[in-house]
């Protein structure tokens, strides 16, 4: 069963249960409410009658005639009883025996009268005491319960009709609302099917709100990341095959030349040296590929510990200065913060050195390394004064085997990003406003050390 049907049935069932409970409660209380209301009305009418004939003796035929006219006007069944003489002095009810039975069975002085019964019928009763000059008299007003039950049944029929209309409207409304709720989910399912089939160019934005919109955005971001990953994997295999094939072809060429006697003497020695250099290069590429694979899949390769930032940056400078001097590049450090990071020191040192070495290769005269804290974030920046990064290369600079003109294996920056992200940080590259390239590593989880 579809989700929309399930939600519609659930909402409708809930509504029917709530309305049924409400209806049963109203039905059970309705008769009591009608009885109390009828008693109040009888009491009000009785008060009017008593006030009209106040101080009038109902033994007088003239007073009885006036009372009869009032009863006809109000359409009431009444009788008057004189407790002093224990006699019925007036009645609109023809059956005197029934009245005598009521007088003997029920307490006329009780203000809260139950339903009176006679001939298989129930009556709602209201008793109004009043005093004549001669004796204490009571006016008893009665209404058959069947009349109230008819009123109740009429009200119940109307309530049932209202409930049925309400349920119909609620079903239509719930169907409309659930459709609005489920439609984005259905479209989202189709989006996931497109992602499954790798149809990333057919993914479109879904109009939704709330948590569904957040899920849709997450799915879109996931699709973009997956598409980017797949593309990078394609490039990786293409570039990896090229990078591995180049040294192997050089090694194979010189090995076959030496074997066939094409290279002899100094040429053979030079060929052997080229083979050794290419083997070292090939070994470096393979080691870096293995390191990247381990960073992606193995958990025990990364061993974080608390590392003080200033001693860590001094180790970076100790390794960077000889490389910079060999290239004739000035290297400067400034604004070193006192802070502590929870990272794998050796891996993070490798990541920062990959960035610094890259900056030294592309710098003209100077490389600057700095640290700073701003907005509760720790920044490590490496800036060079070179030509900057080509805009076409900037978006994929950290992909594997992507390198500039003077790059080596194209894996250094990919390794740097993998280590930084494994350390809970982020890294980005941009062209500095004053010229050259700027790499920024950002950490949110760090401890400020003011000692």
Q: What is the CATH number of the domain that holds 233?
A: 1.10.287.130
Domain shared by 217 and 341, yes or no: no
Domain shared by 41 and 87, yes or no: yes
Q: What is the CATH number of the domain that holds 15?
A: 3.30.450.20
Domain shared by 334 and 284, yes or no: no
Domain shared by 25 and 76, yes or no: yes
Structural domain contains residue 236? yes
Structural domain contains residue 167? no
pLDDT class of 442 with cuts at 50, 70, 90: very high
**234 vs 113, more confident:** 113
State which of 67-76, 237-246, 439-448 shows the largest mean pLDDT.
439-448
What mean pLDDT do residues 206-228 have? Answer: 77
What mean pLDDT do residues 267-290 have? Answer: 82
Per cent of the chain over pLDDT 70 is: 84
What is the model's pLDDT at position 236? Answer: 64
Domain shared by 20 and 120, yes or no: yes
* CA-closest candidate to residue 141, choices 31, 39, 64: 39
What mean pLDDT do residues 367-384 have? Answer: 89
The structural domain count of the chain equals 3
What mean pLDDT do residues 189-195 have? Answer: 80
What pTM value is reported for the model? 0.48
Which of 151, 169, 195 terminates a domain? The answer is 151
Domain shared by 400 and 341, yes or no: yes
Per cent of the chain over pLDDT 90 is: 5
Domain shared by 309 and 293, yes or no: no
3-state helix, strand, coil in the chain (%, to 5): 60, 20, 25
What mean pLDDT do residues 360-375 have? Answer: 89
Structural domain boundaries enclosing 234: 210-297
* Residue 358 pLDDT exceeds 60: yes
Q: How far apart are CA 93 and CA 39, in angstroms?
A: 19
Domain shared by 285 and 343, yes or no: no
Structural domain contains residue 178? no
What is the model's pLDDT at position 439? Answer: 92
What is the model's pLDDT at position 188? Answer: 76
Which of 256, 281, 297 terminates a domain? The answer is 297
Structural domain contains residue 202? no
Give the SS3 label for residue 450: coil
Q: What is the CATH number of the domain that holds 429?
A: 3.30.565.10
What would the pLDDT profile of 69-102 be if each residue is shown by its tens digit? 776 776 677 887 877 778 887 777 888 888 888 8
Domain shared by 248 and 346, yes or no: no
Structural domain contains residue 190? no
pLDDT class of 207 with cuts at 50, 70, 90: confident
Domain shared by 258 and 322, yes or no: no
Structural domain contains residue 168? no
Structural domain contains residue 160? no
What would the pLDDT profile of 391-433 be if each residue is shown by its tens digit? 877 777 777 666 666 556 667 788 888 888 888 899 998 998 8
Q: Could you tell me how many residues make up the chain?
A: 451
Domain shared by 128 and 7, yes or no: yes
Q: How far apart are CA 323 and CA 150, in angstroms?
A: 104
Q: How far is CA 382 from CA 154, 216, 307, 317, in A?
A: 86, 37, 20, 12
Mean pLDDT for the chain overall: 79
* Residue 175 pLDDT exceeds 70: yes
Domain shared by 15 and 90, yes or no: yes
Structural domain contains residue 159? no
């Amino acid at each position: 069963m579809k989700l929309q049907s399930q939600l519609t049935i659930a909402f409708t069932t809930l509504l029917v249960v709530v309305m049924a409970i409400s209806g049963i409660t109203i039905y059970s209380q309705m008769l009591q409410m009608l009885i109390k209301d009828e008693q109040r009305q009888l009491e009000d009418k009785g008060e009017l009658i008593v006030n009209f004939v106040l101080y009038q003796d109902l033994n007088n035929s003239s007073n009885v005639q006036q009372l009869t006219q009032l009863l006809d006007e109000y359409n009431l069944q009444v009788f008057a009883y004189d407790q002093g003489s224990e006699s019925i002095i007036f009645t609109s009810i023809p059956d005197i025996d029934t009245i005598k039975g009521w007088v003997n069975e029920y307490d006329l002085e009780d203000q809260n009268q139950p339903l009176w019964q006679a001939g298989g019928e129930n009556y709602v009763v209201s008793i109004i005491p009043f005093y004549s000059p001669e004796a204490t008299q009571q006016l008893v007003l009665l209404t058959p319960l069947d009349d109230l039950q008819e009123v109740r049944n009429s009200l119940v029929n109307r309530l049932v009709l209202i409930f049925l209309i309400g349920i119909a409207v609620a079903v239509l409304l719930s169907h409309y609302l659930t459709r609005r709720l489920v439609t984005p989910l259905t479209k989202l399912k189709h989006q996931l099917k497109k992602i499954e089939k790798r149809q990333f160019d057919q993914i479109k934005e879904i109009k939704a709100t709330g948590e569904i919109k957040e899920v849709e955005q997450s799915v879109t971001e996931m699709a973009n990341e997956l598409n980017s990953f797949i593309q990078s994997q394609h490039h990786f295999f293409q570039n990896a095959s090229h990078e591995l094939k180049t040294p192997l072809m050089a090694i194979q060429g010189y090995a076959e030349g030496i074997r066939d006697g094409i290279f002899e003497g100094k040429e053979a020695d030079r060929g052997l040296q080229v083979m050794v250099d290419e083997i070292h290069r090939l070994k470096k590429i393979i080691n870096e590929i293995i390191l990247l694979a381990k960073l992606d899949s193995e958990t025990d390769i990364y061993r974080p510990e608390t590392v003080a930032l200033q001693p860590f940056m001094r180790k970076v400078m100790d390794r960077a200065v000889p490389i910079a001097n060999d290239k004739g590049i000035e290297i400067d450090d400034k604004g070193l913060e006192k802070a502590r990071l929870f990272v794998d020191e050796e891996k993070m040192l490798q990541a920062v050195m990959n960035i610094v070495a890259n900056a030294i290769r592309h710098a003209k005269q100077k490389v600057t390394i700095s640290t700073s804290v701003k907005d509760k974030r720790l920044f490590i920046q490496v800036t060079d004064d070179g030509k900057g990064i080509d805009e076409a290369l900037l978006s994929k600079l950290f992909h594997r085997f992507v390198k500039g003109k003077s790059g080596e294996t194209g894996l250094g920056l990919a390794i740097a990003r993998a280590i930084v992200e494994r350390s809970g940080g982020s890294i980005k590259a941009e062209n500095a406003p004053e010229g050259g390239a700027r790499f920024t590593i950002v950490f949110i989880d760090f401890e400020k050390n003011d000692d």
